[in-house]
Structures are given as C-alpha cells and as structure tokens.
Chains A and B, each alone.
Chain A
C-alpha cells in the first residue's frame, strides 16, 4: 500500500484566497483525521470522520474551515478565505476502528503558507 496520500505537498497563497487540501486514506481504513501542526501549538486535531461521517469537528477553528469525505477513499479540507494565521503543516491520518485508539497512519503533510 502507498500509505496515506496528501496533495499538494506545498501550497503558497495570498490572504483571502481559497485553499483546498486533499487526502487519500489507506484502503480499508474507516477512520480519517485532519490535523494541524504549528511550532506554538503542536499537533491539533481539526476533524475526525468515521465511515465517511464527521464525528468530531470541535477542533475546526472557525467557519472559514470546512471538510468533506464524499467516499471512503477521498477527503478534502477547505479554507475560505485563507488568512496568514492559517499557515501551518496540515496532516491527514487514517486508521481502522471507531474510537481513535488504534495506530494512526499519517500522510506526509501539506505545508501551507498564506502571505
């Protein structure tokens, strides 16, 4: 298996623009997680999907952020409009099981820079 696939790997955009990050989880995994990593706050969960359904979105910072999982093999995280404080590395992770307790497999991340 190729592991969790994320695209793009790097994104540079200007404030106010829409940004869409993409993730393909490991085949057979039914849990998908979007995380954000910054130097100050470390790794934080944004949203969790189980069987394509959003279960916990309490970490989504504000309405500018939205996430979808239209099927078991694809998810998107969208920021509209983007702001400089959104600059961070965004990781997608997948695992099997509903509780978040099992090993999570992380993708390589998308480094987002908002100018």
Chain B
C-alpha cells in the first residue's frame, strides 16, 4: 500500500530563515510525486511534480528535490506570505491511480 509521511507536522520560522520540509514515501512504481500548497479555508494549489530520483524543480523561494525514498521542499529566505500547509502526494502504478496524500506540514513564517 502506498504511504506518505510528512515531517515536521508544524514548523515556525522567522522571515529569512531557510529550512526544509520532508516527505518520505513508499510506492509501487513511482509515477510522480506532487507538492501542493493549501491556505486556510481554501483548496490545495499545485506547486510541482517530480518524476524521477535526482530531479529538482524551483519556483520563486521554493525548490523541490526527489530521491528514491523521499522528497524535500526547500524554502529559501521565506516571507510571511509563504505561510501555509504544504501537502505531498505520490502516484504509482499504471493507468489511473489515485494520489495518496500526506497529512501536511503547517508552516508559519513570522515577520
């Protein structure tokens, strides 16, 4: 059974203090690893898809990396507007396969 574990559950940073969020996964035949951002009271918003170990993607202050067992979301010099819950999900197998989501990391960036 596909599983995703995210850590830490919550993270508090000062503005400008860089850090990383972790997503550990087990999946049968990884097809993709997805990162979403969710603001309070809103639906998740897509950030990245990573397909194979060694792949990296960047968007503004965020960089996602992937190994065979985990993914990291690196946040460089965060700003208060980066405060949100970050969700990781994996998809494996062939044909249609559902995304299996972790429970997320709640990030709070203080000015």
Chain A residues within CB distance 8 Å of chain B: 4, 41-45, 48, 50, 55-56, 59, 91, 93, 98-101, 103-109
**New A-B pairs, 19, CB < 8 Å, besides A41-B103, A56-B96, A100-B97:** A4-B43, A42-B87, A42-B102, A44-B101, A45-B99, A55-B96, A91-B43, A91-B44, A99-B95, A99-B96, A100-B91, A100-B99, A101-B49, A103-B46, A106-B44, A108-B41, A109-B41, A109-B42, A109-B43
Contact code string B13-56 (vs A, CB < 8 Å = 1, else 0): 00000000000000000011000000001111110010000000
User: B78 contacts the other chain (Cβ, under 8 Å)?
Assistant: no
The 7 closest A-B pairs by CB, nearest first: A106-B43, A42-B103, A43-B101, A45-B98, A103-B46, A106-B44, A91-B43
Residues A108 and B43 in contact in the complex (CB < 8 Å), given A42-B104, A43-B87, A101-B32: yes
- On chain B, the residues within 8 Å of A42 by CB distance are 87, 101-104
The smallest beta-carbon distance between A115 and chain B, in angstroms, is: 21
Residues A56 and B98 in contact in the complex (CB < 8 Å), given A93-B43, A109-B42: yes
- On chain A, the residues within 8 Å of B91 by CB distance are 100-101
A-B residue pairs in contact (CB < 8 Å), sample of 24: A42-B87, A42-B101, A42-B104, A43-B44, A43-B101, A44-B101, A45-B98, A48-B96, A50-B96, A56-B98, A59-B98, A100-B91, A100-B96, A100-B97, A100-B98, A100-B99, A103-B46, A103-B49, A104-B46, A105-B46, A107-B43, A108-B41, A108-B42, A109-B43
Interface centre among B43, B45, B46, B102 (most CB of A within 10 A): B43
